[in-house]
């Protein structure tokens, strides 16, 4: 695995004139527009990068974009890999490991999620303060690559406290509500049943989605500070649950997108 990561990173370094990104950004479903704020220097298709998985979801475009955001060097994953697409956890986490080798010092992650906390509303943003992993596995299972991190990484402070506080200040200055809460990862691809939403709320989750946790675990294993945020695209409380199709999720994500973009741009600028 280490060799695959090195080969992917070597290809990217050569294709980007050793661009050396400071920050990595993973954009979730319907949340790719941040890229419009990036002064693009290089754009690589996943398909051209050795060992890189290739995205199968139509709403994800599958590009690694290198450029300047608020004057800082970033690498943006436009489209990510989900467990429900059939990838292994190692594949889902692979790009994060490559980005770390390319030199990123922080990771920013976004996703579309269902709201479980009854105080939330559609299209609001929730900063992730902690997570519950209900995926049937994680990227650290198997022989530990000691070069990357420890066998038993600590998970008591996964989401960077300083960046969470900074985000709250940015949102307040910009005049929008920013929620905080616990994200639970479910395998998907089907959405959850009423009984499952009830269960997820009882065990302490504020939002549910199908991504983020594997990438975050791989990042924390390597000691990377992480900031992650959910866009609440549909409400999953008993009184507000209704049938959801992908278009509804994309529409709600589009409404929230300008706030998400502002937040990440400002966080990057202040990093
Ligand atoms: N579950 C429910 N609603 C959602 C999800 C999910 O995983 N993702 C976005 N909206």
The count of other CB atoms within 10 Å of the CB of residue 39 is 10
Range 33-51 average pLDDT: 93
Tokens of 138: 């994680």
pLDDT tens digit sequence for 55-74 = 665 545 688 999 999 999 99
| Distance, CA of 22 to CA of 2 (rounded, Å) | 21
Range 118-144 average pLDDT: 97
| Distance, CA of 159 to CA of 228 (rounded, Å) | 7
Predicted model pTM:
0.95
Ligand 1 site residues (CB inside 6 A) read: 112-114, 186, 188, 191-192, 208-210, 233-234, 236, 249
E-assigned strand segments in 72-225: 72-78, 106-115, 125-133, 178-185, 207-209
- Tell which atom from ligand 1 comes closest to the C-alpha of 233: 10
pLDDT exceeds cutoff 80 at 54: no
| Distance, CA of 177 to CA of 200 (rounded, Å) | 24
Strands 125-133, 178-185: pairing is parallel
HSE on the CB side for 67, CA within 13 Å? Answer: 20
| Closest-CA residue to 216 (of 167, 142, 153, 145) | 153
Is residue 80 within 8 Å of 55, Cβ to Cβ? yes
| Distance, CA of 170 to CA of 167 (rounded, Å) | 5
Tell me the chain's radius of gyration from C-alpha atoms: 17
- Rounded to the nearest integer, the mean pLDDT of the chain is 94
E-assigned strand segments in 91-218: 106-115, 125-133, 178-185, 207-209
Instruction: Output the residue whose Cα is nearest ligand 1's atom 4.
Output: 114
> Looking at the domain covering 2-270, what would its CATH class be?
alpha beta
pLDDT tens digit sequence for 153-189 = 999 999 999 999 999 999 999 999 999 999 999 999 9
Is residue 31 within 8 Å of 260, Cβ to Cβ? yes
Range 234-238 average pLDDT: 93
Query: Separation of 131 CA from ligand 1 center, angstroms?
Result: 15
pLDDT of residue 58: 54
Q: Where are the domains of the chain?
A: 2-270
Cis? peptide before 189, omega within 30° of 0: yes
- Tell which atom from ligand 1 comes closest to the C-alpha of 210: 7
Instruction: Output the residue whose Cα is nearest ligand 1's atom 6.
Output: 209
E-assigned strand segments in 177-225: 178-185, 207-209
| Distance, CA of 62 to CA of 47 (rounded, Å) | 8
**Which H helix or E strand runs over 161?**
helix 161-174
């Amino acid at each position: 695995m280490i060799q695959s990561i090195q080969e992917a990173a070597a290809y990217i370094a050569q294709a980007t004139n050793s661009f050396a990104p400071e920050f990595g950004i993973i954009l979730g479903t319907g949340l790719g527009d941040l890229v419009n704020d990036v002064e693009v220097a290089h754009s690589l298709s996943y398909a051209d990068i050795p060992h890189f998985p290739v995205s199968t979801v139509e709403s994800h475009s599958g590009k690694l974009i290198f450029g300047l955001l608020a004057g800082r060097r970033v690498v943006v994953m436009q489209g990510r890999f989900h467990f429900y697409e059939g990838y292994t956890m190692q594949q889902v986490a692979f790009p994060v490991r490559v980005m770390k080798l390319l030199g990123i010092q922080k990771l920013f992650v976004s996703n579309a999620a269902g709201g479980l906390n009854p105080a939330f509303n559609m299209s609001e943003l929730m900063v992730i303060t902690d997570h519950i992993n209900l995926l049937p596995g994680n990227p650290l299972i198997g022989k530990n690559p000691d070069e990357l991190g420890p066998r038993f990484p600590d998970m008591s402070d996964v989401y960077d406290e300083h960046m969470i506080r900074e985000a709250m200040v940015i949102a307040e200055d910009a005049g929008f509500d920013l929620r905080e809460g616990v994200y639970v990862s479910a395998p998907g691809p089907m959405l959850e049943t009423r009984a499952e939403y009830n269960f997820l709320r009882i065990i302490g989750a504020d939002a549910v989605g199908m991504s983020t946790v594997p990438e975050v675990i791989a990042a924390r294993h390597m000691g990377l500070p992480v900031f992650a945020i959910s866009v609440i695209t549909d409400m999953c409380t008993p009184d507000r649950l209704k049938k959801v199709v992908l278009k509804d999720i994309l529409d709600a994500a589009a409404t929230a997108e300008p706030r998400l973009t502002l937040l990440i741009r400002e966080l990057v600028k202040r990093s």
